[in-house]
Amino acid sequence: MTRLRYLLHEAVDNIKSNRTTTFVALATTTFTMLAMGVFLLLYLNVQEALGSLREEIKVIVYLRDAVSSQAVARVRAEIGRDPAVAGIEYVSREQALAAFRVQFPSEERLLSGLGDNPFPASLVIKVSPYLRDAVSSQAVARVRAEIGRDPAVAGIEYVSREQALAAFRVQFPSEERLLSGLGDNPFPASLVIKVSPTYRSSEQVRELVQKLNALSETEEVLYSQDWIENVAVALRSLKVLGLGIGAVLAASMVTILANTIRLTLHARRDEIEIMKLIGATTAFIKTPFVLEGALLGGTGALCSLFLLRSLFGLAEAKLAFKGTFWGIGRELVFLPDRVTVGFLLLGIILGCLGSVVSLLQPRGARS
């Protein structure tokens, strides 16, 4: 314990003996670690947002107008058997029209001339096919049953045309004029199919969509998988960019700390020679300098975390996220505890590495 106390005391003395150089090294270390933290924080939040987006993958199957309720039920059952489907919601033409009027109350005029209800019924498959206008309730039930057998399907929700219309009116109350001239309800019924978590790859979702398109009651199938995959590609690019920039910043930090330790070695070269003459081991002489690097790296990482937390709070308030990110109902997240601990350890390790680099210099280079 006495030996450790002495080594720590020597490390602190080394820091105090070169205050200006130490301050510059500490400031540089802090801002270097801060830059790493910003990239890490951005990556974690984009990754979290992408995970939320994947949970909301939906395939909309628009049904033909003549599809009966029995056909819809059959389709839902059929789709529901797919393992990629996590849930199915039926949206009737009336619901689609109502949703349009709610979301776009000022766009009612767009519906003028399109008949009573231009919207088809649909099945929203949470991964949605739009059903043909003529599909009966029996056909819808058949489709739901058929879809529900797919192991990719985790759930099916039928959205009638009326529900689609109502939803439109709720979400876009100022766009009601869009419905004018389109008849009573231009929205199709649909089945909202929820995709199972284990069937969310691009290939699996496309395979499910092909099955949905093959159903006779299906008018059209829409889904957002391609857009989500584009976000995933962007996330991977961000990860590569962050790793590249992080490597450059880490190398810069190690170089700066190595130069700082090297200056301390030069200032205490006479004292080091005396210690060697009286029998001090190499490890005993070098350990305080390694501890000095660890203290500088750890302190810089700690200071950068405080700054990062402050900037995170300011960004939340300034950009008025108000608990959402990319329009997703989830809060922005700061670095988790395990990541924070790892961040501090990274600063300490880089500090030690800087010390080791300076201590590995040939003796002639340090004289």
Burial (CB count <10 Å: 0-12, 13-18, 19+), residue 37: buried
What per-residue confidence (pLDDT) applies to 248?
87
Domain boundaries, the chain: 2-47+234-366, 58-223
pLDDT at 75: 80
Average pLDDT per consecutive 10 residues, the chain (367 residues; last block may be shorter): 60 64 81 87 77 63 76 79 70 79 72 67 63 67 75 72 75 66 68 68 73 75 66 74 83 83 71 71 73 84 91 73 48 82 91 82 47
pLDDT at 147: 74
Who contacts 155 (Cβ-Cβ below 8 Å, separation ≥6)?
Answer: 80, 85, 86, 87, 88, 89, 126, 193, 194
Note if the pTM is more than 0.75. Answer: no
- pLDDT at position 204 is 72
Q: Alpha helix (H) ranges present in the chain? A: 2-17, 19-55, 69-80, 93-103, 142-148, 161-171, 202-213, 225-267, 269-277, 282-318, 337-359, 363-366
What pLDDT shows up at residue 320? Answer: 52
Rounded CA separation 292/57 (Å): 52
Instruction: State residue 220 phi and psi, 5-degree precision.
Output: -160, 150
**Residue 91: what pLDDT?**
80
Q: What is the reported pLDDT for 321?
A: 47
